[in-house]
Amino acid sequence: MQLIPQYKWRNWNDNLACTADLYRPRGLHELREAVRQAGRKGRIRPLGNSCSWSPLVPTRGSLIDLGQLRGMHETSYDGAPAIRVEAGATVRDLVQFTQARGLTLITPTIFQDISVGGAIAVAAHGTGLRTSTMSDEVVAMTLVDARGEVHHLSAADGPLFDAARCSLGALGVVHDVTMRCWPEFHLHVEDRMIAVDDVLGGLPDLLATYEFVELYWFPFTETMWCKLMRRTEEPDAGATLADRLKFAFTYACTFASCNGVLPLLGRVAPELTPAFMQLAPRLSMTPGCAVAPASRAFHYQRAYPRCWDMSYGVPLADAEPAWRRTIGLIEHLARAASFPVNMVVHARFIGPSAALLAPAHGRAICDLEVVTTRSARDADVFYEQWSAEMLAIAGARPHWGKYLLHPRAVRERYPQMDAFLAHRAALDPRGLFLNDWLEDAVFQLRP
- What is the chain's mean pLDDT, rounded? 93
Q: Is the pLDDT of residue 8 over 80?
A: yes
Please tell me the class of the 2-65 domain: alpha beta
Average pLDDT over residues 128-145: 97
Average pLDDT over residues 290-302: 87
Distance CA 35, CA 145 (A): 8
Q: Please, what's the largest Cα pairwise distance for the chain?
A: 63
Residues 6+ apart with CB under 8 A from 418: none
Architecture of domain 186-405: 3-Layer(aba) Sandwich (3.40)
Q: Is the pLDDT of residue 251 over 70?
A: no
Task: Enter the CATH code of domain 72-183.
Answer: 3.30.465.10
* DSSP secondary structure code for residue 261 in this structure: I
What pLDDT does 242 receive? 67
Q: Are 239 and 247 in contact (CB under 8 A)?
A: yes
How many CB atoms neighbour CB 426 within 10 A? 12
Q: Is the pLDDT of residue 270 over 90?
A: no
Kindly indicate the confidence band of residue 280, based on its pLDDT and cuts at 50, 70 and 90.
confident
Q: Which long-range contacts (CB under 8 A, 24 or more apart) does 3-7 make?
A: 3/37, 7/63
Q: Is the pLDDT of residue 335 over 70?
A: yes
Same fold, 2-65 and 186-405: no
Higher pLDDT, 303 or 317: 317
Q: Residue 163: which of 141, 180, 178, 183 has the closest Cα?
A: 141
Q: Are 93 and 113 in contact (CB under 8 A)?
A: no
Q: Is the pLDDT of residue 285 over 80?
A: no
| Sequence spans of domains, the chain | 2-65, 72-183, 186-405
What pLDDT does 112 receive? 87
Q: How distant is the alpha carbon of residue 385 from its chain centre?
A: 22
What pLDDT does 299 receive? 86
Kindly indicate the confidence band of residue 243, based on its pLDDT and cuts at 50, 70 and 90.
low
Hey, which bits of 233-356 come out as E strands? 288-293, 307-315, 344-350
Distance CA 432, CA 44 (A): 6
Average pLDDT over residues 307-328: 97
What pLDDT does 110 receive? 84
DSSP H or E stretch at residue 35: helix 28-41
Q: pLDDT tens across 414-437, in order?
A: 999 999 999 999 999 999 999 999
Q: Which amino acid is at 208?
A: A
Q: pLDDT tens across 398-415, in order?
A: 999 999 999 999 999 999
**CA-CA distances (angstroms) from residue 134 to 168, 178, 301, 358, 398?**
14, 11, 18, 10, 17
